[in-house]
Structure 1
Amino acid sequence: MNKRVMKAAVAAVAVGGFLLGTAGTASAAIDKDGRLESGEFGLYYNSGLGGCVFDVAADNNFADDYFKGGSCSGNGQTTNDNTASYWNRSVFTQYVFTDWYKEGIQGSLPSGYSGDASSNFKNKISSTSIIAR
């Protein structure tokens, strides 16, 4: 009788762990999918949070990243040196840099901040991080 109870308990724990694991991934934000979700940082192709968005947590080099979003302005354009506005939906301060690998001019955007890029950063952002260099 004890073996049956133990097997049932192990099976219940395994099923419960599986259900918890899959429920967490279904609602988690997935960066670089063209949808800015809670917990992500979004860079927009146009000013005023317009056009396609590049959604990311952090990335040292935008050279191989592209704006996504279907029929929006900028779809398929490289993100590198091509960002006009941004929205920080993460809980961390987001740092942007004008060169790859956190080099060049550094700017910081607090959690919840959204707006147009200043003249120092408009169409010049090449990398981002949640930790300053």
Structure 2
Amino acid sequence: MHRNTTTRRLAGVALAATAMAGIGLATAPGASALGKDGVLETYEFGLYYNSGQAGCVFDLFNYETTFANDTFWKASGTCSGFGQTTNDNTASYWNRDTGTWWVYTDADADGAEGTLPAGYKGTASDTFKNKISSSYPYDAH
């Protein structure tokens, strides 16, 4: 009888540990950062409709080969650029990810290439302002 009780307790502890590990994974940094919801969160890369990180944002958690079917989002309230296409319509950006992001002036990592290191935010240069069409969290060339 003692062995059966011990086995049940160990099984209960193992089950609880497994459940806690699952909860830990679900709440790990970046687990909720899915992008494309109008909220630029940690571990995301954001493209803004206006200069100075103003207006609506298009937030990415992963690469995007073309912005042709993407639009600027708003989480709540109003912002300029809502519903406008992201393709060739970005004036500024903010890299809240932990690594460098690459942007390109054409779809599929073609055209001029620019790099934005972790934490960088700024207004796009003349080469990239309203010309960005794809982006990747790695060098796509």
Structure of higher CA gyration radius: 2
Give the drift of 1:72. Answer: 0.3
The answer as to 2:97 corresponding to 1:90 is yes
Q: Determine what percentage of the aligned residue pairs are the same residue.
A: 47
Counterpart pick for 2:48 among 44, 49, 64: 44
One-letter amino acid of the structure 1 residue matched with residue 34 of structure 2 = I
Unmatched runs of 5 consecutive residues or more in structure 2: none
Runs of 4+ aligned residues of structure 1 deviating over 6 Å after TM superposition are none
Unmatched runs of 5 consecutive residues or more in structure 1: none
1:92-111 matches, within 5 Å, as 92-111=99-118
Distance 2:110 2:36 in 1: 22
Distance 1:121 1:129 in 2: 15
Give the structure-1-normalised TM-score.
0.90
Q: Deviations over 1:40-61 (max 9, x none)?
A: 1110001111100111132111
1:26-45 matches, within 5 Å, as 28-45=32-49
Superposed CA RMSD: 1.8
Q: Name the count of aligned residue pairs.
A: 133
SS in 1 for 2:102: strand
The answer as to 2:132 corresponding to 1:128 is no
Give the structure-2-normalised TM-score.
0.85
Flag the structure with higher helix content. Answer: 1
The answer as to 2:9 corresponding to 1:5 is yes
One-letter amino acid of the structure 2 residue matched with residue 18 of structure 1 = G
